[in-house]
């Protein structure tokens, strides 16, 4: 058991990294839940319209995170080595990649908004208004596009701070932002205290305000605390990056960016397949995703802890310790998934009742949540394998592991079942989710091979 359970010092270090990230994600997703419930009070069609737009916003968000992650692997290892100039160079690459992703997604959503939204609109059993849903979605999208720039800059600074050991500040900024979002949601969706009643447009404006607040806090704090962030001195005097560093980031970053694009795009395709069963399924999946994200926050936090802790140990040359701690982190994630899966199953019937929607939507959301709670350990293990492989720079393998499984297993099954059979949505969802067992078996084999145990910065001289 000592191979899988760490001592107190180990869990203290895990907690120091994990808890701030976990608290930030839990509160963010809890406020997203409240935000979702507020929009849901306006009606099923507005809720569905916002859910459709957020599918594409989700793809953009993950592409930003994935695009910055390649440089982030080097940032963690440069920090473990004590190489401040290396950190500066990785931050510059993050900005270049972030701007590129922003321009591509902004143009796509501006030019192809109508067909992208209609992709999800299908008649169901409940006779919901598809054209009204389209109208709400377009109104929401027109405003929510403004949050893309502050989100990218916030992720650039926050990821760098986390990779260099500062996890509390991003958490604080995130907490303030979600509070701002919640307050302005209430004021602008329902028109309280003299503010106009704007419905879904008010929800979008609240999100934009919150993003700018979060960005301002993170950037100002970082540049005012140079004693704790010495690598930020002179970081923007130039965007020049040595070919060696840029090559490493590109070799690692392109697979990660492609992975996030294909994985999040794959999730969007899966949800579109589910939407073939009717617009009520779009609303039910929206409720499921919002609630499950609250529970899945733990795996985002443990994944980040794995990437940071293992990456720093690999950068410091402590490879055997990295392997040992990674194994214990995976065991920790699995134990946590069993606990959280049980809690989600117990609450599956409660959360859907908070929405002002039709009974059929509530019933579907409850059943889908029960299925997801049983499948949670599969997601926890696969997530841990993904971050383990990524910490050693094996981004091409992570790309094949993560996106490959979605496009080769889940999506073909979903397309066949959705378009070629009359299988109801809950069995369809169950079958697609169960295929992740194959992904877990493959992940276990790859982690055991230890090809990810790589020090990426050992050949770089420290300028100090």
Cβ–Cβ under 8 Å, residues 80 and 311: yes
For 248-268, write each residue's pLDDT tens digit: 777 777 777 787 788 888 988
Q: Does residue 460 form part of some domain? A: no
Average pLDDT over residues 297-321: 83
Domain of 126? 8-449
Structure tokens at 313: 């140990």
Where residue 462 falls among pLDDT bands split at 50, 70, 90? very low
- What gap in Å lies between CA 464 and CA 462, rounded to an integer? 5
Show the 3-state SS of the chain: CCCCCCCHHHHHHHHHHHHHHHHHHHHHHHHHHHHHHHHHHHCHHHHHHHHHHHHHHHHHHHHHHHHHHHHHHHHHHHHHHCCHHHHHHHHHHHHHHHHHHHHHHHHHHHHCHHHHHHCCCCCCCCCCCHHHHHHHHHHHHHHHHHHHHHHHHHHHHHHHHHHCCCCHHHHHHHHHHHHHHHHHHHHHHHCCCCCCCCCHHHHHHHHHHHHHHHHHHHHHHHHHCCCCCHHHCCCCCCCCCCHHHHHHHHHHHHHHHHHHHHHHHHHHHHHHHHHCCCHHHHHHHHHHHHHHHHHHHHHHHHHHHHHHHHHHHHHCCCHHHHHHHHHHHHHHHHHHHHHHHHHHHHHCCCHHHHCCCCHHHHHHHHHHHHHHHHHHHHHHHHHHHHHHHHHCCCHHHHHHHHHHHHHHHHHHHHHHHHHHCCCCHHHHHHHHHHCHHHHHHHHHHHHHHCCCCCCCCCCCCCCC
Angle between helices 359-391 and 319-347 (to 10 degrees): 180
Please say if the pLDDT value at position 55 is more than 60.
yes
Where residue 463 falls among pLDDT bands split at 50, 70, 90? very low
Cβ–Cβ under 8 Å, residues 313 and 456: no
pLDDT of residue 420: 93
List C-alpha distances in Å: 25 to 172, 175, 369: 11, 9, 19
Give the residue from 248, 272, 310, 230 showing the smallest Cα distance to 120. 272
pLDDT of residue 138: 94
- What gap in Å lies between CA 394 and CA 454, rounded to an integer? 9
Mean pLDDT of the chain, nearest integer: 86
pLDDT of residue 456: 65
pLDDT of residue 183: 92
Q: Does residue 462 form part of some domain? A: no
pLDDT of residue 135: 92
Angle between helices 8-42 and 168-190 (to 10 degrees): 10
Give the residue from 68, 70, 164, 87 showing the smallest Cα distance to 393. 70
pLDDT of residue 461: 44
- What gap in Å lies between CA 47 and CA 120, rounded to an integer? 13
Cβ–Cβ under 8 Å, residues 126 and 45: no
pLDDT of residue 254: 76
Largest Cα separation within the chain, whole Å, is 68
Q: Does residue 133 form part of some domain? A: yes
Residue whose structure tokens are 């697609």 = 432
Angle between helices 395-405 and 359-391 (to 10 degrees): 160
Structure tokens at 64: 């930003």
- What gap in Å lies between CA 48 and CA 275, rounded to an integer? 11
For 223-233, write each residue's pLDDT tens digit: 999 888 888 88
pLDDT of residue 191: 93
Q: Does residue 165 form part of some domain? A: yes
For 266-287, write each residue's pLDDT tens digit: 988 999 999 899 888 988 998 9
Where residue 457 falls among pLDDT bands split at 50, 70, 90? low
Query: How many structural domains comprise the chain?
Result: 1
> pTM for the full model?
0.74
pLDDT of residue 145: 94
């Amino acid at each position: 058991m000592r191979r899988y359970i760490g001592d107190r010092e180990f869990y203290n270090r895990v907690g120091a990294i994990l808890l701030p990230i976990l608290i930030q994600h839990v509160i963010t997703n809890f406020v997203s839940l409240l935000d979702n419930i507020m929009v849901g009070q306006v009606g099923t069609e507005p809720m569905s319209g916002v859910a459709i737009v957020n599918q594409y916003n989700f793809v953009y968000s993950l592409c930003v995170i994935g695009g910055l992650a390649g440089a982030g692997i080097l940032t963690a290892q440069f920090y473990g080595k004590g190489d401040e100039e290396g950190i500066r160079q990785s931050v510059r690459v993050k900005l270049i990649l972030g701007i590129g992703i922003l321009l591509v997604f902004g143009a796509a959503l501006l030019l192809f908004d109508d067909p992208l939204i209609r992709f999800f609109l299908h008649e169901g059993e409940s006779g919901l208004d598809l054209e009204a849903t389209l109208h709400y979605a377009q109104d929401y999208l027109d405003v929510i596009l403004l949050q893309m720039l502050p989100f990218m800059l916030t992720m650039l600074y926050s990821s760098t701070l986390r990779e260099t050991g500062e996890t509390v500040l991003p958490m604080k900024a995130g907490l303030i932002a979600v509070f701002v979002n919640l307050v302005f949601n209430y004021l602008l969706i329902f028109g309280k205290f003299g503010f106009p009643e704007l419905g879904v447009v008010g929800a979008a404006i609240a999100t934009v305000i919150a993003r700018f607040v979060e960005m301002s806090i993170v950037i100002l704090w970082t540049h005012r605390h140079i004693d704790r962030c010495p690598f930020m001195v002179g970081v923007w005097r130039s965007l020049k990056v040595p070919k060696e560093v840029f090559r490493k980031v590109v070799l690692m970053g392109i697979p990660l960016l492609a992975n996030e694009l294909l994985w999040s795009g794959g999730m969007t395709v899966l949800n579109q397949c589910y939407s073939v069963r009717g617009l009520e399924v779009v609303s039910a999946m929206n409720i499921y995703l919002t609630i499950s994200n609250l529970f899945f926050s733990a795996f985002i936090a443990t994944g980040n802890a794995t990437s940071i802790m293992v990456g720093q140990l690999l950068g410091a040359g402590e490879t055997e310790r990295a392997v040992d701690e990674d194994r214990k982190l995976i065991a920790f994630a699995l134990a946590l998934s069993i606990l959280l899966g049980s809690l989600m199953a117990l609450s599956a019937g409660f959360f859907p009742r908070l929405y002002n929607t039709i009974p059929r939507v509530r019933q579907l959301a409850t059943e889908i949540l029960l299925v997801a709670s049983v499948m949670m350990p599969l997601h926890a293990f696969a997530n841990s394998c993904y971050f383990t492989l990524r910490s050693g720079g094996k981004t091409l393998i992570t790309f094949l592991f993560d996106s490959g499984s979605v496009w080769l297993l889940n999506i073909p099954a979903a397309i066949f079942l959705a378009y070629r059979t009359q299988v109801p949505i809950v069995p369809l969802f169950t079958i697609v989710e169960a295929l992740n067992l194959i992904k877990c078996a493959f992940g276990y084999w790859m982690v055991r091979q230890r090809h990810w145990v790589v020090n990426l910065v050992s050949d770089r001289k420290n300028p100090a």
